[in-house]
Chains A and B, each alone.
Chain A
Amino acid sequence: MSLGTLIVFAVLGLVVAGSAVGMLLSRNAIYSALFLVINFIAVGVLYLVLGAPFISFAQVAVYAGSIMVLFVFVIMLLGAEQFPVHEPLRGQRWLGLLAGGLFLIESAAFLYLRTSAPKWAAEIGFGFESPAVVGRMIIEKYLLPFEITGFLLLIAVVGAIFLARLETPMVGKGRQGQLGERKE
């Protein structure tokens, strides 16, 4: 194990963990979104360290780019940055913290107690998982899932437009009768 890889991983790991905790703890949803952007970009760099440039760029473009833009847009559209602090469910916070701590302990126990010990992951290097190889594999071996995913995206976009559209008043008894009247 080279020392350089360890230093890179340590810095990136600190950024990933810190931004995740910041996302959890910040009161303002906009700050949460920005922390999550930092987290996604750092994880993308970790993918580069693991020798997966295609996934890394897809991560930065799709997650840190479009998905977070969508999040920030909806937060600003709804004005949902902050909520007043009152707690209808008593003790929910402590129960949740307890459950999370239990999960962390459980996964740590899984990592350290399982039988087959993992050896070493790849060092920093390119070439094995170049985008050309990944693209060829998607087209050749995983063509059907690829097409299904495209169809899923189409359905999702159409469904999102249907769900979020404004109810426009239609002339005559169109679909307004089917959907039921909705007061604005």
Chain B
Amino acid sequence: MPLVYYLGLSAFMFTIGILAVVLRRNPLVVFMGLELMFNAANLAFVAFAAFHKVLDGEIFVFFVITTAAAEVAIGLALIVAIFRAKHSIDLDQMSQLKG
């Protein structure tokens, strides 16, 4: 398989993730877009690791997965906290930083 196929698929996934972050107003879907971008980067990492026959890329993917798990835990807790405070999680209504 040419490496460029995997990179193309990764770029497509990353673009869809960007579109989900930019277009959707549901913060949970925005988060899913973030996960999709993480996944696209991981795919590029693993493709390069398999192509160059070095394992370090895969180790890095392992760390990225762990960090993404931590990020999701914090992010979802933040969403729940915001929902408790404002009774809404519409992104367009979060336009003020006042407490």
Contacts and interface: CB of A to CB of B under 8 A. Distances in A.
Which residue, B5, B23, B33, B80, has most C-beta atoms of chain A within 10 A? Answer: B23
B28 A55 contact: no
Contacts of A63: 35, 39, 65, 68
A160 to B, nearest CB: 4
Interface string A35-65: 0100110010011011110110011001100
B66 A152 contact: yes
B51 A122 contact: yes
Interface residues of A, number: 81
Contacts of B11: 104, 107-108, 111
B36 A23 contact: yes
B92 A163 contact: no
Given A96-B19, A121-B2, A80 B26 contact: yes
Contacts of A88: 92
Interface string A136-167: 01100110010001001101110111011000
Contacts, number: 227
B32 A83 contact: no
B77 A164 contact: yes
A13 B76 contact: no
Nearest to B79: A74
B15 A138 contact: no
A60 B11 CA distance: 21
3 nearest CB pairs, A to B:
A156-B70, A96-B22, A107-B11
Interface of B: 1-9, 11-20, 22-26, 28-29, 31-33, 35-36, 39, 42-43, 46-47, 49-51, 53, 55-56, 58-59, 61-63, 65-74, 76-81, 83, 85, 89-90, 92
Interface of A: 1, 5-6, 9, 13, 16-17, 20-21, 23-24, 29, 32-33, 36, 39-40, 43, 46-47, 49-52, 54-55, 58-59, 62-63, 66-67, 70-71, 74-75, 77-78, 80, 83, 88-89, 92-93, 96-97, 99-100, 103-104, 107-108, 111-112, 118-123, 128-129, 133-134, 137-138, 141-142, 145, 149, 152-153, 155-157, 159-161, 163-164, 182
25 contacts: A1-B1, A9-B1, A32-B32, A50-B46, A52-B46, A52-B49, A55-B42, A63-B39, A63-B68, A71-B31, A80-B83, A96-B22, A97-B19, A99-B22, A112-B4, A118-B2, A119-B3, A123-B1, A134-B55, A138-B59, A142-B63, A153-B70, A159-B77, A160-B76, A161-B77
